[in-house]
Amino acid sequence: MAQSGEMITTADVMAHLATGNERQQDAYRVLKSSGLLDILADYHPYPAGTVPIDIDVPGSDLDLLCYAEDLDAFEAEMHDQIEAVGEFRCIRGDGNLPDQRPYVTCNLQVGHWPVEIFAQSVPVNRQNAYLHMLVEWRLLQLWGDAGHLEIRRLKQAGWKTEPAFASVLGLQGDPYVNMLHLAEMKREDLWNWARSRTSL
């Protein structure tokens, strides 16, 4: 993993999963054995979401973010390549969220894991889901076990991830936009600010 303890690259995330808890190690084995990372290699796949940061709940997806300049070509290739892995479906979105662009989401089942592949004509490290995961991981590193337990408690009660973090931090307004703003902060500044917002 990167010296900062952050999961900046796919290699960082995979190394983290390989040495993580039981579910994280299982996710690592599934990603390796399915060949999905190899199939998606040209699209810079990045494992994101709740599993790498250990706030997943039963039924949580394994999320893979991809950078695809041509979404039509990406979707066609998924139909050609992923049928070998399992049944799947793809959905097109117009990207009507703030700073969002059109995207393709492909969902499939690999073993007992639901997998969601998200592709956009935006480099992965500028995609909202990537930025959200990095800032959430920074906050969890600050909060420790208490933070993991509280976020997981909210998620088990039906909260989505970003609204759960926003609730703990006492943020008003759109939680997805708020988390993007927090992602712009340096880690030390974020931690100092977060300490003033919660006792976790």
Q: Among residues 14, 99, 137, which one has the least CA distance to residue 64?
A: 14
pTM of the model: 0.93
CB 112 within 8 A of CB 128: no
DSSP state of 107: E
pLDDT at 99 over 80: no
Q: Report residue 1's pLDDT band, with 50, 70 and 90 as the boundaries.
A: very low
Taking residues 137-153, what's their average pLDDT?
96
Please give the angle made by the CA atoms of 85, 91 and 95, to the nearest 5 degrees: 130
What is the phi/psi pair of residue 102, to 5°? -55, 150
**Residue-range domain boundaries for the chain:** 10-124, 130-195
Q: What is the pLDDT of residue 97?
A: 62
Taking residues 96-107, what's their average pLDDT?
80
Mean pLDDT, all residues of the chain? 92
Q: How, if at all, do strands 103-110 and 88-93 pair?
A: antiparallel
Please give the angle made by the CA atoms of 15, 150 and 160, to the nearest 5 degrees: 80
What is the phi/psi pair of residue 152, to 5°? -65, -40
Q: Helices 22-34 and 10-18: crossing angle, nearest 10°?
A: 130
Q: What is the pLDDT of residue 44?
A: 97
Tell me the sheet residues that pair with 40: none
Taking residues 71-87, what's their average pLDDT?
85
Give the Cα separation of 127 and 112 in Å (integer): 27
**Percent of the chain surpassing pLDDT 70:** 94
Of residues 1 and 152, more confidently modeled: 152
Taking residues 134-157, what's their average pLDDT?
96
Give the Cα separation of 181 and 116 in Å (integer): 25
The answer for 12, left when phi > 0, alpha when psi is -120 to 50, beta otherwise, is: alpha
Evaluate the CA torsion angle 141, 169, 25, 38 in order and state its sign: negative
Name the architecture of domain 10-124. Answer: 2-Layer Sandwich (3.30)
pLDDT at 21 over 90: yes
Taking residues 37-49, what's their average pLDDT?
96
Q: What is the pLDDT of residue 95?
A: 66
Q: Report residue 3's pLDDT band, with 50, 70 and 90 as the boundaries.
A: very low
